[in-house]
């Protein structure tokens, strides 16, 4: 593979790097008064605006997993994969209205702290250790690996390790300044991400128009996509029949039509956006109105993400199908990189900057969350009780450095096998198994006063075991067709249940167990949170944002159902 970047592209990228670094340093200098304030470092308490919170949420969420993985799913599945983004916008409404008030009223700063306050110290410690392992060895490593692979492919394929170190160092420069620096630099990252991403989509559509003889027009190119790949513009994947091809069955296994909306996609999104330190941390240092507005702003931004990360994948599919994309390498996961090769000099550098922005923002946000959980929930409680601010800050920064070092070491030669299974699959596999139990524990802990600590611990373990059972063993032990599910051939000689349905079943059985166990305890758990209706009331401006978001989503589903 030859280097597809010109000198102008490198200049554009360097300008991006200098702008972000200079702005981040200026923010760091302004917060010098907070230098000995641990909460300012970990949470930027009281200093983030709504637009900084919203932008930071999106910058931390959108990474190589979306640019490469979701674009690849757009290539394979089509617009159905947009449900992850559009349902996320609804999940963010739920989090803003019902979850955040509970966290803020009870002065929750970390997710393990929530578990300790609501349940017990054992639950908090178990989950703190679990989250640290998950964030370091699943999320951080996969983001770094996928990002390095994507950018390496555009620079000639010979600089994998150099790029990996560069991404890690760039993220460290931002994250060592604390959450305020992370959040405000994310504003620039999101601006670059959206502008560069939209330009990539625009060029992709014009290329489609040119290749199919309808002119260099993005709208005409989009019409070509709908004409040549109508099946890629259906939100609901039809249930397989006896005459379905393996390709059609594989699509349903990936996203099982209406069943996804009943089962797994809600668990994925509510757990990710509402019970995840990496995400909620941005809002936990703000007042309720600012936090809500920031979260809802993020929801509006989520609505446009499929245009940026999914449409180029569909464009790649139509071009490849028509014989116009010989540069596609690596199957569906190579779709986005292949489309970048069409960009003119300069814009290609901007798009690489957008991809880098997404990767660096996610890395910086992730290591900040790792640092927060380790320092506040483990170090300050079990290693050095009563630590002063200076000690906490030193430990936090040291944890940031060590976490990034571990990520580099484990991705250097891909010791975890991320490349073998694919980054998107790798993340979904290991986070999806635990999501049903974690979400059940948080949901019941917030809104049912009877839930007990023992039920929470059993729920997390049961959720994991049910996930493993339904994903790996159920078809062989219970058969391929039961009243609970239907298993389909996966093309590798075995039968499997769609992953979303597995999550829904695991969540349902976990809830039953937790409720049954909690009935053995007191009617009101002494550690239950006090809730009142006033907590969940929203201001007119907030309600207007919610209605606007729901109207846009409704229109999209009416159009592409």
CATH of domain 7-206+264-424: 1.20.1730.10
Rounded Cα distance between 187 and 197, Å, is: 15
Higher-scoring residue by pLDDT: 181, 545? 545
Q: Mean pLDDT across the stretch 309-314?
A: 90
- Pick from 333, 384, 368: nearest CA to 72: 333
The DSSP element (H or E) to which 196 belongs, if any, is helix 179-211
Place of tokens 């944890």: 399
Q: Mean pLDDT across the stretch 203-218?
A: 89
Predicted local distance difference test score (pLDDT) of residue 421: 57
Q: Mean pLDDT across the stretch 523-533?
A: 88
Rounded Cα distance between 85 and 81, Å, is: 8
pLDDT band at 44 (very low <50, low <70, confident <90, very high): low
Beta-bridged to residue 496, according to DSSP, are 488
* Lowest pLDDT segment from 70-84, 85-99, 324-338: 324-338
Instruction: State the helix-helix crossing angle for 435-447 and 453-468, rounded to 10 degrees.
Output: 150
User: Which parts of 413-498 fold into alpha helices (H)?
Assistant: 418-421, 423-432, 435-447, 453-468, 474-478
Higher-scoring residue by pLDDT: 305, 388? 305
Predicted local distance difference test score (pLDDT) of residue 474: 94
* Lowest pLDDT segment from 309-313, 399-403, 415-419: 415-419
Rounded Cα distance between 108 and 117, Å, is: 9
Rounded Cα distance between 147 and 360, Å, is: 9
Distant-in-sequence, close-in-space partners of 232: CB < 8 Å, separation ≥ 6 = 74, 77, 78, 79, 225, 314, 317
Q: Which two tokens stand for residue 535?
A: 């907590």
CA dihedral 151, 154, 156, 157 (to 10 degrees): 40
pLDDT digits 0-9 by tens, 435-470: 899 999 999 999 999 999 999 999 999 999 999 999
Rounded Cα distance between 74 and 66, Å, is: 10
Backbone angles phi, psi at 489, to 5 degrees: -65, 135
By the 8 A CB rule, do 23 and 187 touch?
Answer: no
- Pick from 417, 414, 415, 333: nearest CA to 65: 333
Residue 561 DSSP symbol: -
Give me the DSSP letters along 489-508: E-SSS-EE--HHHHHHHHHH
pLDDT digits 0-9 by tens, 374-396: 988 898 888 888 777 788 888 88
Rounded Cα distance between 394 and 371, Å, is: 10
For the chain, percent of residues with pLDDT exceeding 70: 91
Place of tokens 């999106």: 58
Distant-in-sequence, close-in-space partners of 35: CB < 8 Å, separation ≥ 6 = 393
Predicted local distance difference test score (pLDDT) of residue 1: 42
Report domain extents, the chain: 7-206+264-424
Predicted local distance difference test score (pLDDT) of residue 425: 63
- Pick from 320, 321, 303: nearest CA to 554: 303
Other CB atoms closer than 10 Å to residue 561's CB: what's the count?
A: 8
End-to-end CA distance of the chain: 40
Predicted local distance difference test score (pLDDT) of residue 64: 67
What's the burial of 234, exposed, middle or buried (CB within 10 Å: 0-12/13-18/19+)? Answer: middle
Rounded Cα distance between 44 and 24, Å, is: 14
Cα 559 from chain centroid?
Answer: 26
Distant-in-sequence, close-in-space partners of 71: CB < 8 Å, separation ≥ 6 = 309, 310, 312, 313, 316, 335, 336, 339
Residue 2, pLDDT > 50, answer no
Predicted local distance difference test score (pLDDT) of residue 36: 54
Q: Mean pLDDT across the stretch 65-92?
A: 87
pTM of the model: 0.86
By the 8 A CB rule, do 510 and 502 touch?
Answer: no
- Pick from 371, 363, 377, 379: nearest CA to 397: 371
By the 8 A CB rule, do 306 and 394 touch?
Answer: no
- Grouping H, G, I as helix, E, B as strand and the rest as coil, residue 310 is coil
CA distances from 265 to 187, 303, 436, 472, 504 (A): 28, 16, 11, 20, 9
- Pick from 531, 409, 448, 424: nearest CA to 71: 424
Residue 487, pLDDT > 90, answer yes
Rounded Cα distance between 124 and 118, Å, is: 9
């Amino acid at each position: 593979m030859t280097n597809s970047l010109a000198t102008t592209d490198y200049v554009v990228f360097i300008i991006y790097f200098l702008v972000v670094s200079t702005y981040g340093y200026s923010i760091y200098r302004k917060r010098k008064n907070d230098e000995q304030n641990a909460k300012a470092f970990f949470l930027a308490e009281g200093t983030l605006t709504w637009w900084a919170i919203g932008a930071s949420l999106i910058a931390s969420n959108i990474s190589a997993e979306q640019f490469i993985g979701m674009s690849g799913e757009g290539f394979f599945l089509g617009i159905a994969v947009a449900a992850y983004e559009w349902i996320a916008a609804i999940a963010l409404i739920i989090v803003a209205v019902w979850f955040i008030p509970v966290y803020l009223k009870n002065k929750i700063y970390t997710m393990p702290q929530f578990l300790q306050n609501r349940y017990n110290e054992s639950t908090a410690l178990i989950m703190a250790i679990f989250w640290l392992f998950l964030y370091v060895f699943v999320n951080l490593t996969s983001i770094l690996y996928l990002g390095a692979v994507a950018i390496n492919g555009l620079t000639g394929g010979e600089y994998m390790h150099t790029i990996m170190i560069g991404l890690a160092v760039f993220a460290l420069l931002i994250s060592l300044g604390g959450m305020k620096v992370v959040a405000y630099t994310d504003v620039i990252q999101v601006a670059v991400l959206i502008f560069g991403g939209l330009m990539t989509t625009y060029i992709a559509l014009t290329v489609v128009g040119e290749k199919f003889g309808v002119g260099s027009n993005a709208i005409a190119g989009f019409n070509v996509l709908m004409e040549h790949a109508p099946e890629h513009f259906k939100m609901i994947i039809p249930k397989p029949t006896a005459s379905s091809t393996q390709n059609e069955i594989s699509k349903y296994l990936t996203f099982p039509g209406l069943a996804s909306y009943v089962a797994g996609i809600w668990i994925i999104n509510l757990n990710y956006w509402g019970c995840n330190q990496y995400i909620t941390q941005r809002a936990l240092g703000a007042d309720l109105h600012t936090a809500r507005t920031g979260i809802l702003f993020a929801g509006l931004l989520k609505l446009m993400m499929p245009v940026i990360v999914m449409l180029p994948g569909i464009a790649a599919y139509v071009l490849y199908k028509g014989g116009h994309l010989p540069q596609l390498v690596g199957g569906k996961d190579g779709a986005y990189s292949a489309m970048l090769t069409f960009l003119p000099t300069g814009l290609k550098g901007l798009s690489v900057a957008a991809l880098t922005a997404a990767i660096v923002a996610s890395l910086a946000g992730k290591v900040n969350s790792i640092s927060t959980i380790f320092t506040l929930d483990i170090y300050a409680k079990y290693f050095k009780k009563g630590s002063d601010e200076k000690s906490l800050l030193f430990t936090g920064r040291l944890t940031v450095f060590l976490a990034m070092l571990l990520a580099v070491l484990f991705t250097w030669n891909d010791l975890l096998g991320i490349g073998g299974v694919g980054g998107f699959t790798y993340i979904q596999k290991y986070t999806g198994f635990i999501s049903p139990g974690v979400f059940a524990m948080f949901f019941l802990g917030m809104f049912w006063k009877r839930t007990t600590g023992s039920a929470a611990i059993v729920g997390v373990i049961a959720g994991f075991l049910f996930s493993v059972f339904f994903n790996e063993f159920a078809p062989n032990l219970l058969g391929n067709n039961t009243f609970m599910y239907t298993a389909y051939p996966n093309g590798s000689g075995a039968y499997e249940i769609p992953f979303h349905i597995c999550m829904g079943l695991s969540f349902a059985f976990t809830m039953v167990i937790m409720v049954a166990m909690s009935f053995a305890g007191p009617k009101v758990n002494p550690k239950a949170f006090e809730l009142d209706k006033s907590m969940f009331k929203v201001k007119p401006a907030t309600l207007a944002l919610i209605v606007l978001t729901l109207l846009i989503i409704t229109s999209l589903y009416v159009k592409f159902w």
